[in-house]
């Protein structure tokens, strides 16, 4: 019975976490609806296009913008790769975590693009996948440490 209650708790935690990420990606940290819709910025479908701009032209951006757009999504998706494998055994592989990170991040990017509260950027999806895989690495390390 304890295993089921742990899984229920983790499922609820993951659901709240994913909803929070979606909310923040649409409305920002303030959560106010005065967030400006993006009409004049184009979507990016070219892998590493935006990311290379942040890396090679970092002096054009303030630190917060640079950090969030290069490392923020990696950090944000680590819990996805860590918690999801506890819930679904099939996601205990890199393929499984890449797939779930791809699906969640693609959904976020599509919603941002459709609502105009952001733009679709394939680099965001790639960074999310990296974060999910890092989370899986932490999961594997924890599972190996716990089995000793």
The pLDDT tens digits for 78-117 are 999 999 999 998 889 999 999 999 999 999 999 988 888 8
pLDDT at 28 over 80: no
Task: Please tell me the pTM assigned to this model.
Answer: 0.87
The pairs formed by 89-94 with CB atoms below 8 angstroms and a separation of 24 or more are: 92/136, 92/139, 92/140, 94/133, 94/136
What pLDDT does 132 receive?
Answer: 97
d(CA 103, CA 121): 14
Q: Number of structural domains, the chain?
A: 1
Domain that holds residue 63: 2-146
pLDDT at 34 over 60: no
What pLDDT does 148 receive?
Answer: 60
In percent, how much of the chain has pLDDT > 70?
A: 89
| 145 vs 16: which has the higher pLDDT | 16
Burial class (CB in 10 A: 0-12, 13-18, 19+), 102: middle
d(CA 48, CA 99): 19
What pLDDT does 36 receive?
Answer: 58
């Amino acid at each position: 019975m304890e295993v089921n209650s742990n899984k229920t708790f983790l499922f609820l935690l993951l659901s709240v976490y994913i909803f929070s990420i979606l909310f923040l990606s649409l409305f920002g940290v303030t959560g106010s609806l005065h967030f400006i819709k993006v009409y004049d910025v184009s979507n990016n479908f070219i892998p590493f296009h935006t990311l290379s701009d942040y890396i090679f032209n970092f002096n054009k951006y303030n630190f917060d913008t640079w950090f969030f757009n290069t490392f923020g999504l990696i950090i944000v998706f680590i819990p996805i790769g860590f918690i999801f494998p506890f819930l679904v055994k099939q996601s205990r592989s890199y393929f499984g975590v890449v797939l779930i990170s791809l699906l969640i991040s693609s959904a976020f990017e599509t919603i941002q693009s459709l609502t105009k509260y952001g733009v679709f950027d394939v680099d965001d999806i790639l960074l999310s996948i990296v974060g999910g895989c890092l989370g899986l690495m932490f999961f594997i390390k924890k599972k190996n440490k716990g089995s000793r």
